[in-house]
Amino acid sequence: MHNFEFVKPASIADAVKALAADGAQALSGGQTLIATMKQRLADPSVLVSLTGIAEMQGVCTGDGGVHVGGATPHAVVAREAAKLYPALAKLAGGIGDPAVRNRGTIGGSLANNDPAACYPSAALASGATIVTNKRKIAADDYFQGMFSTALDEGEIITSVIFPVPEKAAYVKFDQPASRFALTGVFVAKYASGVRVAVTGASNNGVFRWFEAEAALSGNFSAAAIAGLTVDASDMISDLHGTPAYRANLVKVLTGRAVSAA
């Protein structure tokens, strides 16, 4: 990979300052970015590590639900959210593999918004709030298509706030090689209604399956979606699955998530 200057600030303020430099890019866990840099597909001149910022670490309960620090590794979420938000913890504990979970972070995952990443489905289904150094962004406004988010250049996800549902579950169907989600569905039942978010399936990245939400808000059971069909027209097509196959998975996994919740 190309060389760069490595900086590791200890505070959000210093990180923001460092990111103002020309060609600066944030590095969170690096579990995607470093591979991308090896292929010379990313070429920062300054790399700003967010792993040394104590205020971006950890899981706690606070206003609006469970707060997860932006630089919290998946393994820590899996452990520390286990009682606070079990479905979220389970999702975090199923990302990648153990070593990846020890480095990869929630902020990195959400900032990258890989269409096959797990976390975006949790954020969207939970109606989470993405907190940055500048503002708070509702999940519904945050995800703007594959690898695209509402974040501005140099903006850092400092934490994510998850309202805790009455019931929830995430069911992921692994892409057999990468172990990313070939399709993954997060179902969350709140007093206000059910939210269903799907990752891995669509060319537009994570999305809400509104028809299922409506059906499940009336009757939270797998049977409630039996009559629905999933539109395959904008689904991802690759070696691992056709659009029709992914559309099928969306429905199957939604049913399984509802049963598991």
Partner 1 sequence: MTKVTMTVNGKSMSAETEGRTLLSSYLRDGLGLTGTHIGCDTSQCGACVVHVDGVAVKSCSVFAQDVAGASVKTIEGMANADGSLGVIQQALQDHHGLQCGFCTPGMVMTSAALLAEIPKPTEAEVRHGLEGNICRCTGYHNIVKAVMAASGQDVNALAAE
Partner 2 sequence: MPKDHGIGASSKRREDVRFLTGRGVYTDDIALHGQVHAVMVRSTVAHGRIKSVGTARAAGMPGVLAVFTGEDFVAVGGNPAGWLINSRDGTPMREPKRPVLAHGKVRHVGDSYAAVVAETYEQARDAAQAISDDSEIEDLPAVVNMAAAVANAGNRVHDEIPDNVCFDWGWIEDNRASVDAAIKAAPHVTVLELVNNRLVPNAMEPRASIGEYFPGTGDYKLTTTSQNPHLTRLLVAAFVMGIPENKLQVVAPDVGGGFGSKIYHYGEEALVLAAAKKLARPVRWTAERSESFLSDAHGRDHVTRIELACEKDGTFIAFRTETLANVGAYLSNFSTATPTFLHGTLMSGPYKVPNVYVNVKTVFTNTAPVDAYRGAGRPEATYSIERVVDMMCRELGLDPFEVRRKNLLTPDQFPYQSPVGLMYDTGNYQATLDKACAMADVAGFEKRAAASKVKGKLRGMGLSTWIEACGIAPSNLVGVLGSRVGLFDAATVRVNATGNISVMVGAHSHGQGHETVFAQIVADKLGIPESSVEIVHGDTAKIPFGMGSYGSRSLSVCGTAMDKALDKIVAKGKKIAAHMLEAAEGDITFADGKFSVAGTDKAKTFGEIAFSAYVPHNYPLETLEPGLEETAFYDPANFTYPAGAYICEVEVDPDTGRVEVCSFTCADDFGNVMNPMIVDGQVHGGVGQGIGQALLENAHYDETGQLLTGSFMDYAMPRADDVPFYNVDHSCNTPCTHNPLGVKGCGEAGAIGSPPAVVNAVIDALQRGGHTHVTHIDMPVSPSRVWAAING
> CB under 5 to 8 A by kind: which of partner 1, partner 2, none does 5 bind?
partner 1
CB of 12 to partner 1, least distance (A): 17
> CB under 5 to 8 A by kind: which of partner 1, partner 2, none does 249 bind?
partner 2
Which one of 17, 167, 179, 256 is in contact with partner 1 (CB under 8 A)? 179
Per-residue string for binding with partner 1, 100-139, x by CB under 8 A? x-xx------------------------------------
Give me the residues that bind partner 2 (CB under 8 A), please.
1-3, 38-40, 173, 176-179, 182, 238-242, 244-245, 248-249, 252
Which one of 12, 27, 137, 171 is in contact with partner 1 (CB under 8 A)? 27
Across 224-259, b (16+ Cβ under 10 Å) vs e yields bbeebebebeebbeeebbebebbbbbbbbbbbbbbe
CB of 100 to partner 2, least distance (A): 12
- Distance between CA atoms of residues 152 and 190, nearest Å: 31
φ and ψ at residue 97, rounded to 5 degrees:
-140, 175
Find all residues with CB under 8 Å of 239, minimum gap 6, and list them: none
- Among residues 190, 207, 189, 187, which one has the least CA distance to residue 198? 207
99 binds partner 1 (CB under 8 A): yes
Instruction: Please identify, using beta-carbon distances, which residue of 97 and 141 lies nearer to partner 1.
Output: 97
CB of 76 to partner 1, least distance (A): 10
φ and ψ at residue 99, rounded to 5 degrees:
-70, -40
The token pair that represents 4 in the structure block: 């760069």
Instruction: Please identify, using beta-carbon distances, which residue of 1 and 232 lies nearer to partner 1.
Output: 1
The region that residue 64 occupies, defined by phi over 0 for left and psi between -120 and 50 for alpha, beta otherwise, is left
> CB under 5 to 8 A by kind: which of partner 1, partner 2, none does 6 bind?
partner 1
CB of 90 to partner 1, least distance (A): 13
- By CB under 8 A, name the binding residues for partner 1: 1-6, 8, 27, 30-31, 34-35, 37-39, 47, 49, 51, 75, 96-100, 102-103, 178-179
